[in-house]
């Protein structure tokens, strides 16, 4: 009997060691007025399908893909900066492009105040796409958090926080997950207690347009590392910032820190804001069946505005940017690589 049990244990570990899942994280999905105007159809609707056609295979190629929805979807009149409000079809297009989780804790989440927050929550629910970071009330938050997803047999917990909401405060029972040490500690503990083998914390932090992480980013990254968070994924600066692997102090295994993915898609026009990164990791199991983070990689994407016969904004893998935009794409790449070459630690570039 002991021999049979031992054989079954060895077989289970052997099968587990071949188990893999890929996670993908995208940056800030913006909605500027020019994007709204470009997506308008002759029938009076808004179509964003073409925006993601060139990157759809990358997104859908991951087992689980995450994006920061940096705009309310509040209904009524649509608008870009400074108070965003996107058409429903924008969220639908992101879902159809392959995203499995939307993040909503960012500095623009209250651009249409509490009503916009609550309407965004309801809209995403109606699209049957998971989302976290903002909630219509505390009872709803308690039902969402801890969020633990089964991704090909891996139990992965997700958290989302923002540094602020542009000085706008909630005026009802709505809830925004702000960066708060006590709340983060409680959420990490609850997520781990709920069975998460891997925890990903997606944080809206830092200073806009700054290529080097500022002190507050480093401080919060260190806290999340100390808490044993495996994937720390940053956004908000709208530019690419360094990535690094660290040692998870609770498990001794590798973790990933991305200070800023930059923009996913936008109408920002400076050299450093026209593009961003997709960060991916593979989850696998070690010889005794523990979940581990492996093969951390990044690749660049670049937004091309309406041009060359296209009426819409289009997002491309950097290597596939149309000829007319390759010089601008190369300038973005050169600036990003200049920073990452010096500060990137243990994360490979994928092409």
Q: Could you please report the per-residue DSSP string of 238-250?
A: SSB--EEEEE-TT
pLDDT (mean) for 299-315 = 91
Going by pLDDT thresholds of 50, 70 and 90, the confidence category of residue 307 is confident
Q: Could you please report the per-residue DSSP string of 169-197?
A: ---SS-EE-B--HHHHHHHHHHHHHTT-S
Which residues, in sequence order, are CB contacts of 83 under 8 Å at separation 6+?
A: 108, 111, 112
Given this model, what pLDDT does residue 18 score?
73
pLDDT (mean) for 91-107 = 98
**Strand 147-151 relative to strand 154-162: parallel, antiparallel, unpaired?**
antiparallel
- Burial (CB count within 10 angstroms: exposed 0-12, middle 13-18, buried 19+), residue 115: middle
Given this model, what pLDDT does residue 2 score?
54
Backbone angles phi and psi of 269, in degrees to 5: -120, -5
Helix H or strand E encompassing 37:
helix 33-39
Q: Share the mean pLDDT of the chain.
A: 94
Q: Report pTM.
A: 0.94
Backbone angles phi and psi of 142, in degrees to 5: -65, -25
pLDDT (mean) for 112-127 = 98
Given this model, what pLDDT does residue 7 score?
44
Q: How far, CA to CA in Å, does 92 sit from each of 48, 119, 258, 305?
A: 9, 15, 27, 20
| pLDDT tens-place string over residues 147-170 | 999 999 999 999 999 999 999 999
**Residue 119 C-alpha from the chain's centroid:** 21
In the predicted structure, residue 1 carries a pLDDT above the cut 60: no
In the predicted structure, residue 67 carries a pLDDT above the cut 70: yes
In the predicted structure, residue 171 carries a pLDDT above the cut 60: yes
The sign of the CA dihedral 69, 72, 73, 78 is negative
- Report percent pLDDT > 90 for the chain: 91
pLDDT (mean) for 269-289 = 97
Measured distance CA(225)–CA(230) in Å, rounded:
7
DSSP 345: B
If you count them, how many residues does the chain have?
351
| pLDDT tens-place string over residues 211-254 | 999 999 999 999 999 999 999 999 999 999 999 999 999 889 99
Min mean pLDDT across 261-270, 274-283, 310-319 is at: 310-319
Measured distance CA(206)–CA(260) in Å, rounded:
9
Going by pLDDT thresholds of 50, 70 and 90, the confidence category of residue 79 is very high
Q: What radius of gyration, in Å, describes the C-alpha atoms of the chain?
A: 20
pLDDT (mean) for 111-134 = 98
| pLDDT tens-place string over residues 80-92 | 999 999 999 999 9
In the predicted structure, residue 4 carries a pLDDT above the cut 60: no
| pLDDT tens-place string over residues 6-35 | 445 444 544 555 799 999 999 999 999 999
Given this model, what pLDDT does residue 13 score?
47
pLDDT (mean) for 285-312 = 93
């Amino acid at each position: 009997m002991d021999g049979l049990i031992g054989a079954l244990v060895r077989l289970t570990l052997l099968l587990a060691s071949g188990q893999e899942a890929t996670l993908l994280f995208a940056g800030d999905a913006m909605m500027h007025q020019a994007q709204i105007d470009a997506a308008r159809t002759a029938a009076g609707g808004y179509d964003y399908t073409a925006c993601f056609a060139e990157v759809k295979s990358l997104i859908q190629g991951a087992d689980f893909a995450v994006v920061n929805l940096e705009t309310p979807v509040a209904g009524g009149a649509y608008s870009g900066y400074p108070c965003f409000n996107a058409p429903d079809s924008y969220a639908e297009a992101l879902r159809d492009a392959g995203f499995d989780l939307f993040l909503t804790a960012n500095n623009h989440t209250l651009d249409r105040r509490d009503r916009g927050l609550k309407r965004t929550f309801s809209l995403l629910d109606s699209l049957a796409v998971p989302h976290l970071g903002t909630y219509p009330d505390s009872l709803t938050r308690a039902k969402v958090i801890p969020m633990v997803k089964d991704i090909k047999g891996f139990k992965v917990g997700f958290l989302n926080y923002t540094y602020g909401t542009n000085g706008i405060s909630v005026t009802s029972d709505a809830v925004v997950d702000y960066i708060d040490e006590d709340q983060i500690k409680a959420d990490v503990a609850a997520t781990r207690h709920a069975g998460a083998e891997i925890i990903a914390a997606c944080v809206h932090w830092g200073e806009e347009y700054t290529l080097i992480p500022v002190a507050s980013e480093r401080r919060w990254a260190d806290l999340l590392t100390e808490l044993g968070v495996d994937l720390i994924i940053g956004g908000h600066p709208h530019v690419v910032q360094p990535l690094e692997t660290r040692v998870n102090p609770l498990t001794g295994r590798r973790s990933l820190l991305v200070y800023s993915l930059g923009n996913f898609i936008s109408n920002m026009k400076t050299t450093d804001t026209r593009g961003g990164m997709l960060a991916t990791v593979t989850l696998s199991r070690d010889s005794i069946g523990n979940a581990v983070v492996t093969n951390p990689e990044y690749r660049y994407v670049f937004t091309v505005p309406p041009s060359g016969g296209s009426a819409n904004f289009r997002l491309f893998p950097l290597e596939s940017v149309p000829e007319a935009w390759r010089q601008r794409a190369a300038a973005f790449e050169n600036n990003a690589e200049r920073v990452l070459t010096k500060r990137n630690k243990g994360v490979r570039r994928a092409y």
